[in-house]
Amino acid sequence: MHDVIVIGGGPAGLMASIGAASHGASVLLLDKGDRLGRKLAISGGGRCNVTNRSPLDVLIANIPGNGRFMHSPFSVFNNEDIIQFFEGLGIELKEEDRGRMFPVNDKAATVVETLLGQVKALGVEIRTNTAVRSVEYTEDAVSQVLLKDGGQLPTKAVIIATGGKSVPHTGSTGDGYPWAEKAGHTITELYPTEVPITSDEPFIKAKSLQGLSLRDIELTVFNPKGKKIITHEGDMIFTHFGISGPAALRCSQFVVKALKKFDTPSIRMEIDLFPQQSEEALFQQLLAKAKQEPKKSLKNNLKGFAPERFLLFLYERLQLDSQLPSSTVSHDHWRALAHSCKHFSIEVNGTLSIEKAFVTGGGVSIKEIEPKTMQSRKKNGLYFCGEVLDIHGYTGGYNITCAFSTGYTAGKSAAEQAIHN
């Protein structure tokens, strides 16, 4: 009999196995897939963004889904601990923009192999291609894990690390929710987060701007009354169905929630191409260009001012002849151009599905979890970690930080409890 059984071999499950085994427990790790760490292997565009080096308050601010809950798990195992853990295993890390930490060799495979090496070195028994049918409980505690092939595995502690419903080809298909409900847990409503946004705008359907990337812009979501809900800065890209890229992904959960809250078919978003400049300053800059080279055509005069495809689209939208000499363009038209660059409007009507999302919003309610140990408040010996919980962060190393932190915390606590009982 194993002291601790971990179900799910993703980032949270691997770290839970390490946390439990390094604190003296005999551990069995079960995964229904044929390979462990599949989501890790594709994270960070295949480079594996292992954590984020931002200070604690910034970390929490970048976990819009119940970030405050993470204060306790971070007191056990935080981002600096994650960095030390990997560097201690010989993986050199480097810091990139916004605190994101990557392996120096840019290979996610190295991270996965090293984690698996550590799991094995600690004597964890691994069983892949092993699907769990259910987790069984007594009145107040965990009793055993039942496998789909009929196997029965009695244990003192079970750690559920089965992930959410996003990226299902990596194995996260929501398996853990029914086992949690059976123990008396509440599953809050699931929704996609960190997911591309869809739009029925004619220019999107016509693919007028498809593939165009905009750098260092600000993207804002408005409610139907025109009040700002959220603004995120970063990069974005126009797609054949709407918008994507980091800034759009960060706005996506606010789009999902606003459409639902206001029960409306679409809401407005705005792109600000020049967040560092006021509209008036931009207008004056355009006028100065016109005065400097009055004979130059509008198109040639504004080369390099903004991406050319975007400008050509604006000229068409504003019914401006881009071949006109700059001196003949009216003040109103210059103002309209400045306004369009600061307040480019797009009506959006939703997002791609939860399966296409990078992260699942919602999950096992954190009100029913002990934050210092990740143990269930419903059943003794039942623990949860990672994305199965109602915790989610923005992309940029925040979700994986939550997974490693809650995983290690759950593993350590499960081991200490199992051994002392």
CB-based contacts of 284, cutoff 8 Å, min separation 6: none
Q: How far is CA 377 from the centre of its chain?
A: 27
Tens-binned pLDDT, residue by residue, of the chain (421 aa): 999 999 999 999 999 999 999 999 999 999 999 999 998 988 888 899 999 999 999 999 999 999 999 999 999 999 999 999 999 999 999 999 899 999 999 999 999 999 999 999 999 999 999 999 999 999 999 999 999 999 999 999 999 999 999 988 888 999 999 999 999 999 999 999 999 999 999 999 999 999 999 999 999 999 999 999 999 999 999 999 999 999 999 999 999 999 999 999 999 999 999 999 999 999 999 999 999 999 999 999 999 999 999 999 999 999 999 999 999 999 999 999 999 999 999 999 999 999 999 999 999 999 999 999 999 999 999 999 999 999 999 989 999 999 999 999 999 999 999 988 7
Cα separation, 141 vs 143, in Å, equals 6
- Please state the pTM of the whole predicted model: 0.93
Six-digit token pair at 28?
Answer: 């069995």
DSSP 123: T
399: helix, coil or strand?
A: helix
Cα separation, 92 vs 90, in Å, equals 6
227 burial (CB, 10 Å; 0-12 / 13-18 / 19+) is exposed
416 burial (CB, 10 Å; 0-12 / 13-18 / 19+) is middle
For the chain, which domains are there? 2-190+362-420 (3.50.50.60), 196-352 (1.10.8.100)
413: helix, coil or strand?
A: helix
What's phi and psi for 324, nearest 5 deg?
-60, 145
Q: How many CA atoms lie within 13 A of 366 on its CB side?
A: 22
Six-digit token pair at 229?
Answer: 């809900």
Position 326 scores a pLDDT of: 94
| Backbone region of residue 256 per phi and psi (left: phi > 0; alpha: psi in -120 to 50; beta: other values) | alpha
